[in-house]
Amino acid sequence: MTTSGPGEATIGDVAREAGVSVSTVSYALSGKRPISEATRQRIQSAVDRLGYRPHAGARALASRRTHVLALVAPLRVDVNVSVILQFVAGVVTRARSHDLDVLLLTNDDPHSLDRVASGSMVDAAIVMDVEREDPRLPELRAMRQPAVLIGLPDDPGPLACVDLDFVSVGRQAVAHLAAAGRRRIGLIGAAPTVLARRTSFAERLMRGYGEAVARLDAPALAVAAQGSRGGGISAVTELLEREPALDALVVHNELAVPGVVEALRRAGREDVALVLVCPADLVGSVPVDCDWIEVPGARIGEIAVDMVTAQLAGATGPEVRLLEPTVRAHRLNP
C-alpha cells in the first residue's frame, strides 16, 4: 500500500473516497451551498485522510481569484529598514487573517507589478514608497486589480491611499514645541535622495512644518540629513550656525537621531527640545528625554490590507485615509 504525501490528492480522489461528486466536495469546502451534515463530515474525513489540498493554480484558473496580494516594497538604502519592515509585517499579518498570501516585489524592476497583475498572479496590490508624481501611477490605474497606495501622490485619482497625515505631523510638532515656549524650531528631514525622489511623506511633513512656523512668524530652519550618525551631526552643526538661538528640533530621520543627540551634547545644547518622528521600536533606544510622534507602520499596513479587501468585496468607501498623529512623551526615568 502506498501512502502518498500531502498535495498529491485531487478533488476527484476526495470525491471518490467520500462517495460523492466533485461538485459536492467543492461546495462543501467553499461553503457556497448548503450540504447535509452527514456528507460534510464524510467529505471532511476523506480530506483529512488523503491530506488533500486544493491546487492553487487550478483554483485560480477556474475562479479567477488567486488569494495572493502583491506588495510592492522599496528596500531602498535611504529609507529606514526598520520602518519598511514594520509596514511589511503589518501587511503580511493582516493579509493572512484575510486568507491572503503576499507576493513581495522589490522596486528593482519597474514593470514587475504589471507583470504579475496582467499575468493574473495576484488579486490586488499594495504599493509602498509613493512619490508625489509617482511614475507607477499610470500602470496602477490601468490594472484590472484594485490597488492601495501607502503614501499620497499629488493626484491619486481614483486610487485608494492610506498614510500617516504627515502635514499634520509637521504642524503638530511645531505647535507642541510652540506651546512649550519654543520659537526657533529647526527641522532635520529625510535624506537628500529621498527628497530628490519627491517621496510623498517627506515633503508633506516639510509642508506642515513650513506652514506652522510661518504662522508663528518663526524662521523656517529645515535641512535634509544623510541617514547616518554623521548626517545628524552635520545637520545640527549647520542649523546651529544658521541660528545660534535654536531652541527646538523636529527630527524626521531615524538614522540621524544618534548623531543629532551626540552633536547637541557636544555643543552643550541639551536644552534644545526634541520632537522625533519615528516608529515605536526606535524611540526606546534614544538616550535622552524628548517628545515623539509615532509612525505606525504596522497599523498602516494593516489598514491598507483592509482597504484592499474591501475593494475586492466590491465596497467603494472613502478613497483616502490619513491617520491623525499624536505627540507623546519619551522619558528615561518615568
Partner DNA sequence: TTGAAAGCGCTAACAC
Partner DNA sequence: GTGTTAGCGCTTTCAA
The binding site for its own copies (CB under 8 A) comprises 5-8, 51, 53-61, 66, 68, 71, 75, 77, 81-82, 84-85, 88-89, 92-93, 96, 101-106, 108-109, 112, 114-121, 142, 144, 228-230, 255, 258, 281, 284-285, 287
Q: Quote the least distance from Cβ 16 to DNA, whole Å.
A: 11
Q: Which amino acid is at 326?
A: T
User: Closest separation between CB of residue 77 and its own copies, Å?
Assistant: 7
Q: How far is the CB of 9 from DNA (least distance, A)?
A: 7
Check: CB of residue 156 under 8 Å from CB of residue 319. yes
Closer CB to its own copies, 242 or 266, in the complex: 266
**Residue number with CB closer to DNA (144 or 242):** 144
- Return the residue matching grid coordinates 519597474: 110
- By a kind-dependent CB cut-off of 5 to 8 A, residue 178 interacts, out of DNA, its own copies, none, with none
Which of its own copies, DNA, none interacts with 93 (beta carbon under 5 to 8 A by kind)?
its own copies
Nearer to its own copies, 39 or 82 (CB): 82
Q: Which does 33 bind (CB under 5 to 8 A by kind): DNA, its own copies, none?
A: DNA
Mark residue 230 as left, alpha or beta (left: phi above 0; alpha: psi -120 to 50; beta: remaining): alpha
Sign of CA dihedral 104, 108, 109, 114: positive
Find out whether 47 and 7 touch, Cβ atoms under 8 Å: no
Nearer to its own copies among residue 39 and residue 118 (C-beta): 118
Sites of contact with DNA (CB under 7 A): 10-12, 19-24, 26-27, 29-30, 32-36, 38-40, 52-55, 58-59, 61-63
Minimal distance in Å, beta carbon 51 to DNA? Answer: 11
Question: Given the DSSP bridges, would you call strands 290-294 and 327-330 parallel, antiparallel or unpaired?
Answer: antiparallel
Q: For residues 264 and 150, what is the distance between their CA atoms, to the nearest angstrom? A: 34
Nearest Cα neighbor of 256 from 222, 285, 293, 228 is 228
**318 within 8 A of 171, measured Cβ to Cβ:** no
Start-to-end Cα distance in the chain: 68
- Fill in the DSSP letter of residue 219: P
Helix (H) or strand (E) holding 203: helix 200-215
Classified as helix, coil or strand, 195 is helix
In the complex, the smallest distance separating the C-beta of residue 107 from DNA, rounded to whole angstroms, is 26
Task: Output 62 or 245, the one with its CB closest to DNA.
Answer: 62
Q: Which does 180 bind (CB under 5 to 8 A by kind): DNA, its own copies, none?
A: none
User: Of 109 and 154, which has the nearer Cβ to its own copies?
Assistant: 109
Q: Which is nearer to its own copies, 185 or 264 (CB)?
A: 264
